[in-house]
Amino acid sequence: MSKVLSLSGVSAFYGQIQALKSVDIDVNEGEIVTLIGANGAGKSTLMMTICGNPRARTGSIIYRGEDITNLPMHEIARRQIAQSPEGRRIFPRMSVEENLMMGSQVVKFADYDQQLGLMLELFPRLKERFGQRAGTMSGGEQQMLAIARALMSKPKLLMLDEPSLGLAPLIVKQIFSAIRKLNQEMGLTVLLVEQNAFQALRLAHRGYVLVNGAITMQGPGAELLARPEIRAAYLEGGH
Amino acid sequence: MAYALQQLINGITLGMIYGLIAVGYTMVYGIIGMINFAHGDVFMVGAYVGIIVLTAFSGMGLTAVPLGLLVALILAAGLCAIYGYTIERVAYRPLRGSFRLAPLISAIGMSILLENFVQTSQGAKERAIPSLIPGGITLMNENGFVVQLAWMQIAIVITTLVVLGIFTYLVTKTPLGRAMRAVEQDAKMAALLGIDTNRTISMTFVIGAALAAVAGIMFLLYYGVIDFYIGFDAGIKAFTAAVLGGIGSLPGAVLGGLLIGLIEAFWSGYATVAYKDVAVYSILAIVLMFMPTGLLGRNDVEKV
């Protein structure tokens, strides 16, 4: 299996506060890898660091054999690494259509129609809202838009930051099955951050556990699910 | 009635010029949250390029006024675009991310620099050109008071509308316009999607400066007299227009410009010319008291 992404010894800071401590992570072609951890463990920071903001202060980030550690953010994005970030960050004063257009910024124009068709099939709700200003939609609809926007770039690596946040259980199920489908049918490589550790670990091939900015455990999803300390820390008390 | 109509015509013409400049203030504010105080001086440079080109044209014995104007417009817009780009690159970009007042102070510095540069290179005295498009249409004659719609005013209003039309198309329909709006709404997210935010910000300055250059030429046509200091006065008025319309809002900038032009014209016509600025700023103060975000400004209520 070829490595899509490989982080070694990556640390990142917000001012004086160290958010990531020498993190090593690999993501292989066609894998779903999940990062689990409590609030403030550094999961979102890790994703943003891969995208270049905040920058990794030490260590290196290798993407498909290329060192992207110090590339500008937009150059990293142009290598078809897409992120549906924390807090969704859709463009509120743009229509759904324009938000999706922004997502396809890095691909050829000819791909736009094809990807758009796929997205509207995956999220029929967006079709109904196509001309509406994105900021006026419900939280769940905005989440769908954020994921669809990330997928518009035909990503070679898709990073999803808490795609289930604020969504009804039924929609969460739909989104997770959509991720699985994209992974199985198109070989999409996914890095997934989730609070919902149970669902994430069931979906993922492998998982990493992040505690206070450092990786403390890793292994296949099913194996992590079975470990008592994981059950105690992240799974007990309902999911 | 006739008198009011005349003031209306004058106010609209002047307001269009203010609106064109105000768009540049509001665009830059929207995208990087700073007031570009050098913007008015870019407008002044545009007017100077205009006067140099037009004088050269008549000096060479060329009498085709529309051609001369077209060349002046293109040259001024191009040159001012370079000014806009350079100002951002040299004076603002290095300060991005530092404290909020730093680029503002730098902008005032650029403003002083441009004024002094033009003063020393072009002279401190007023420069004038003869009226290029004399005459007009007589709309009505009421007891000897003649309401004139000058060709010049028609030319100014039409040029401004055409330029604003192109600009609106650019912002609403093109990839560059979309990128500009995306950076305005969430710069980090735009970068995550592959937008080169620095380039987008540069383009914003380029476009704003080109619009200011067009406004400079319109100002030159309308008044026929310019000096190195016109950028300050017109700049502050246009800035006021942008705030009145709701800073960050493009239609607001044009609306604000028109209102300021009309207030000035009517106040000068019915009260006293000396106090026209007092009228303008009083109305600004009153509007902001009741609508702090300006007429078309938004209240930034977004779903979380």
B66-82 pLDDT tens trace: 899 999 999 999 999 99
Q: What percent of chain A has pLDDT over 70?
A: 98
* pLDDT tens-place string over residues B130-180: 888 888 899 888 888 889 999 999 999 999 999 999 999 999 999 999 999
Give contacts of A72 with chain B, Cβ < 8 Å. 191, 196
Q: A83: which chain B residues are within 8 Å (Cβ-Cβ)?
A: 192
Cα–Cα distance measured from residue A148 to residue A142, given in angstroms and rounded to the nearest whole number: 10
Task: Give the pLDDT confidence score for residue A219 in this predicted structure.
Answer: 95
Q: Kindly list the distances between the CA atom of residue B113 and the CA atoms of B109, B121, B126, in Å, as whole numbers in the listed order.
A: 6, 12, 19
Distance of CA A142 to the CA centre of its chain: 15
Q: Which residue has the tokens 């938000």?
A: A99
A-B CB pairs within 8 A amount to 69
Where chain B has pLDDT below 50, the residues are 301-304
Nearest CA-CA partner of A26 in A46, A58, A43, A3:
A3
| Cβ neighbours of A82 in B, within 8 Å | 193
pTM here is 0.92
Of B178, B185, B192, the CB nearest to A51: B192
Percent of chain A at pLDDT > 90 equals 75
Cβ contact (<8 Å) for B195 and A51? no
On whether ipTM exceeds 0.85, the answer is: yes
Q: Sketch the domain layout of chain B as residue ranges.
A: 17-228
* A-interface mutation test, from B193, B250, B296, most A Cβ less than 10 A away: B193
